[in-house]
Amino acid sequence: MAFSRRGFWQRTLGALACAAVLGGVATGACAAPVTLNIVDVAGNLALTQKGFEAFRDKYPDLVSKITFTNAPAPQLPGKIKAMQAAGRSDIDIVLTGTDALAAGIQQNLWQRLLPDYSARLPGVLDKYAPNVRAMQELSKGYGLTVTFMPAGPLVEYNPAKVPNPPKTPAELLAWCKANPGKLIYARPANSGPGRTFLMGLPYLLGDKDPHDPVKGWDKTWAFLKELDTCIPYYPGGTSAVMKELGEGSRDMTLTVTGWDINPRALGIVPAAFRIQAFDHMTWVNDAHYMVVPKGVPKEKMDVILKLINFMLEPAQQALTYDDGYFYPGPAVKDVPITSAPAKSQEVIVKYGRPEYRKMIADFPHAVPLDATAMVAAFQKWDAEIGAQKSK
C-alpha cells in the first residue's frame, strides 16, 4: 500500500480534533456520527429537548440524529432488563424522576457515571446548590441531576368550591369525608405529586421514621386508608388528575409547584385556582436525572458524556424554566429567571406564585426516599391503598 504523507496528517489532525471535542479522548465517533435514542419517563423533554437539539446542531460530526420517545415509568425498567438480557442496547439515555431511577438502581440496570467517569465530567458536582447536591447524592452516582424542583406536597383547590382550604392532614381528611369524590390524586408510582404527597405525610403526621415506609410509617398508612374511603379512584398519571380538576368534576388535589403552575399556564386548570401549604410542612424535593443503561457501546458513551456536560451549561439550564412545568427547573447554580427565554419569563410572572419564594426559604427541605425504600413504599401503596381503585 502506497504511503501518503498528506493522508497520514489528515488522519492525525482529524483524530486530534475529535479528541478535543470529546474532552481529550480520541475515538472513532467523529468518523461516524452516532444516533442517540432518548427515552423520557418523567415529562422532562418539555424542559430539555431544545437543549438536546442544540447539541445535535452544534456537533453534527458527533450526532447524526436524536430520537425522542416517551414511556411510562413503571414499565421501563422491565423493558430495559429484557433488552440487556438479550444483549441489546436500543436505549442510550433515560430521562427519569426518582421513581424509575430507584427501580433501575435496585435492578442494576444503569451504568454508574460517578466516580467511574469523573475525569470526563469535570467539576460537575460543584455546579449544584446544596439542595440539588442532596438530590444528586440520592442517585448514588448512577444519574446526573438535570432539573430540580422544591416540590411539595401542596393542596390545590377551586376557591369557588373550597372557601376554607385544609391546612393540616386532619382538615384534609375531614373535608374529603364531607365532600366524597371531590378529592383525587394519582398513583404514586407514576405521579410526581402522588409520590410527593406519599413521602410528605410522615413529616406532617410526625411518624417514627420518614425514611422507612415499612416500619416507620404507621400513622401515614393509617391516614391513607382512612382517606381512601372518600376518594373515588386513583388515575394512572397526573395529567388525568389535572384534567378532572380543570373540568370541575373534582374540587381539590395534592400538587407540587410545577404541576400547579404549568396546567394553569396551558389553560387545563383555571388560572384562578389556588394552592395552600400545610402548616409546618417539610418540602420533599424532586429532580430529574440523565441515566445511561448498561450495554451502551463505547463510541456512544463518549458522545453521551460530552452531551451530559453540555446539558449542565447555563445556556441549556436556562431553557428548563420552560412554562413552569418543573418550577423553577435549573439544577445548576447561578441561572436566574432573567436568563430564561422571554416566554418562560412571561409565564412565571403571570402564573407563578409570589409566595413560593418565601415558602421555599422558610420551610425545611428533605430528599425523597432512597431507591430501596421508594420501591417498597410504591409496592405497599399499590397493595394496600390503590389495589382496588387504580386505573
pLDDT tens, position by position, for the chain (391 residues)? Answer: 443 444 344 434 444 545 555 555 444 445 589 999 999 998 899 999 999 999 999 999 999 999 999 998 888 888 999 989 898 889 999 999 888 898 899 899 999 999 999 999 999 999 998 899 999 999 999 999 999 999 999 999 999 999 999 999 999 999 999 999 999 999 998 888 999 999 999 999 999 999 999 999 999 999 999 999 999 999 999 999 999 999 999 999 999 999 999 999 999 999 999 999 999 999 999 999 999 999 999 999 999 999 999 999 999 999 999 999 999 999 999 999 999 999 999 999 999 999 998 999 999 999 999 888 988 999 999 999 998 766 5
Residue 10 lies in a domain: no
Give dist(CA 121, CA 312) in Å, integer.
10
Q: Count the domains in the chain.
A: 2
Element (H, E) at 64: strand 63-70
Residue 118 lies in a domain: yes
Helix (H, G, I), strand (E, B) or coil at 389: coil
Give dist(CA 202, CA 278) in Å, integer.
13
Which grid cell is 69? 420517545
Both 176 and 319 in one domain: the answer is no
Helix (H, G, I), strand (E, B) or coil at 33: coil
Give dist(CA 380, CA 369) in Å, integer.
14
Count CB-CB contacts under 10 A for residue 105: 24
Both 218 and 359 in one domain: the answer is yes
Both 227 and 301 in one domain: the answer is no
Half-sphere exposure of 223 (CA within 13 A, CB side): 22
Both 182 and 90 in one domain: the answer is no
Contact of 181 with 235, CB cutoff 8 Å: no
**154 in the Ramachandran plot: left (φ > 0), alpha (ψ -120 to 50) or beta?**
beta
Which grid cell is 350? 403571570
CATH of the domain at 189: 3.40.190.10
Both 321 and 362 in one domain: the answer is no
CA separation (Å) from 51 to 269, 317, 359? 28, 8, 30
Both 372 and 226 in one domain: the answer is yes
Q: Which amino acid is at 84?
A: Q
- Give the pLDDT of residue 192: 87
Give dist(CA 36, CA 92) in Å, integer.
6
Report cis status (omega within 30 of 0) of the bond before 328: yes
- Give the pLDDT of residue 17: 47
Residue 226 lies in a domain: yes
Contact of 94 with 293, CB cutoff 8 Å: yes
Q: What is the CA radius of gyration of the chain?
A: 22
Contact of 30 with 303, CB cutoff 8 Å: no
Contact of 337 with 348, CB cutoff 8 Å: yes
Domain carrying residue 373? 151-285+354-385
Both 40 and 59 in one domain: the answer is yes
- Give the pLDDT of residue 148: 96
The residue assigned the cell 403571570 is 350
Both 233 and 374 in one domain: the answer is yes
Element (H, E) at 43: none
Residue 274 lies in a domain: yes
Both 96 and 195 in one domain: the answer is no
Helix (H, G, I), strand (E, B) or coil at 270: coil
Q: Which amino acid is at 272?
A: A
Residue 14 lies in a domain: no
Residue 21 lies in a domain: no
The residue assigned the cell 457501546 is 297
What is the C-alpha end-to-end distance of the chain, expressed in Å?
Answer: 68
CA separation (Å) from 291 to 49, 89, 331, 372? 15, 14, 15, 18
Q: How far is CA 243 from the centre of its chain?
A: 21
Both 65 and 139 in one domain: the answer is yes
Residue 79 lies in a domain: yes
Residue 203 lies in a domain: yes
Both 259 and 319 in one domain: the answer is no
Both 206 and 335 in one domain: the answer is no
- Give the pLDDT of residue 23: 54
CA separation (Å) from 17 to 24, 307, 308? 9, 17, 20
